Chains A and B, each alone.
Chain A
């Protein structure tokens, strides 16, 4: 319990295997709370969690807010659309205002890579990166790892394909780092234009052929195909992408029976995944959503409530 100090969570990069395992182990405790008749514990009473989303989101934001409330923390939420940002207020001003209202943790999503890191430099509050541009989305990787571990027992030795727009995906970056750190073998499957310009230093293999890879997999992880990629000329047409990389019923039949199908959401049914496949018995997409709350409870608790620093200053003598 000593390796993660109370500090911001900005990326999977820089975390150790034992940091990740500690969070995953602790998540079981919070998962159990979610199944109680009254799914709430007083652990973070009086703490305030602020969500600052400069980019739209459904599940990340809702799951952070749900997680905070289940721990009895107060929540404050900032959305770019409804704020003074449109009047020209800067990100830094926004952060200072929210900090002045007493936020202990800022959960930040921003379309530019590195924003969470910058905000962390400005503020005394702790920062959780909830997605920064094409950089990282660490809590998504943690909940993915947790979901896979829950279904498979361990990630060690699993063969996982991440399929789709790897180049622009912060989920893929965080997932590759977390999955490989936990001992999985990762293969990236995408057309050449949607792979990152350089994969140097990434412990992964690549393939352009989904059909060849599918029968060998333990996990097929599909990414969302953004429509703007077509306008950028990275794929010729949606139809061609669907023909080559969409997981349809026919392709899903070649995936081993005990394999898992994941997607970070929101899914484009009929594009990267056929509707029937999304509700296949091997699909764990909704588990990912519900595990997201448990993982974020564990992260918030580790940052705010575990108080490792407190242990040293408070005398435990005479306590039982």
Chain B
């Protein structure tokens, strides 16, 4: 569940109010394009590159990256989705959702994995994802692509590809959708 939905779900049940549109749909496309080029450059092509979108917000980012990568290189890298709910350190504080499917059908041994997510915040989701991915094999390398890095890291985790660095207050909420990136707060 993306953060906007989560804060609007009972028992919290607030309403997300956007204050500023940080990126519009075109900006997102350009950022994806640039990140795709960076992925190809850094890995000298797409050999053994696997994209893993984190449920649920990262799946869209992974799909957009895959599309851009296939236009650049002519081949589209294998893609998977991962739900980290059962690997979280705050398990029990968020629901495990049946619709957030883990689907990794490629062999991850020796692969270069690019984790894709919408927003990088405390880093705890990524910690859980690293943990979960290692149950699928021994990748050669794991890299991280995020649409927005909003700061406030609580773990030694840094992104390799960033759509937008966005300084935020800890109480603010960043919402990423195909229409754009919004910065807002939750009104009770």
Contacts and interface: CB of A to CB of B under 8 A. Distances in A.
Nearest to A312: B11
B170 A316 contact: no
Contact of A319 (B95, B103, B122): B122
Contact of B136 (A1, A26, A28, A36): A36
Contacts of A29: 83, 86, 96, 98, 100-102
26 contacts: A25-B98, A29-B86, A29-B101, A29-B102, A32-B101, A33-B102, A36-B135, A36-B136, A37-B136, A40-B135, A41-B87, A41-B135, A42-B87, A42-B131, A43-B91, A71-B86, A305-B91, A310-B92, A316-B93, A317-B171, A318-B152, A319-B90, A319-B93, A320-B120, A320-B122, A320-B125
Contacts of A316: 6-7, 12, 93-94
Nearest to A36: B135
Closest 6 CB pairs of A and B: A307-B92, A320-B121, A25-B98, A41-B86, A38-B135, A43-B86
Given A28-B101, A29-B83, A311-B11, 12 more contacts: A1-B97, A32-B102, A41-B87, A42-B87, A42-B131, A305-B92, A306-B95, A310-B92, A311-B93, A319-B121, A320-B120, A320-B125
Contacts of A25: 98
Contacts of B103: 32
B3 A42 contact: no
A238 to B, nearest CB: 44
B135 to A, nearest CB: 4
Nearest to A310: B92
A314 B96 CA distance: 17
A319 B94 CA distance: 10
A1 B93 contact: no
A26 B99 CA distance: 9
B178 interface: no
Interface in B99-136: 100-103, 119-122, 124-125, 131-132, 135-136
Interface string A194-230: 0000000000000000000000000000000000000
Contacts of A312: 11
Contacts of A301: 86, 96
Contacts of B94: 311, 316
Interface string A288-320: 000000000000010001110011101011111
Interface string B10-43: 1110000000000000000000000000000000
Given A32-B102, A318-B170, A306 B135 contact: no
Interface in A1-40: 1-2, 25-26, 28-29, 32-33, 36-38, 40
B137 interface: yes
Nearest to A297: B86
Given A40-B135, A42-B87, A26 B98 contact: yes
Interface residues of A, number: 29
Interface string B47-62: 0000000000000000
Interface-central residue, B95, B101, B119, B171, by most chain A CB under 10 Å: B95
A279 to B, nearest CB: 29
Nearest to A44: B91
A26 B170 contact: no
A67 to B, nearest CB: 13
Given A33-B86, A318-B152, A1 B131 contact: no
B91 A307 contact: yes
B117 to A, nearest CB: 9
A320 B87 contact: no
B86 to A, nearest CB: 4
Nearest to B6: A316
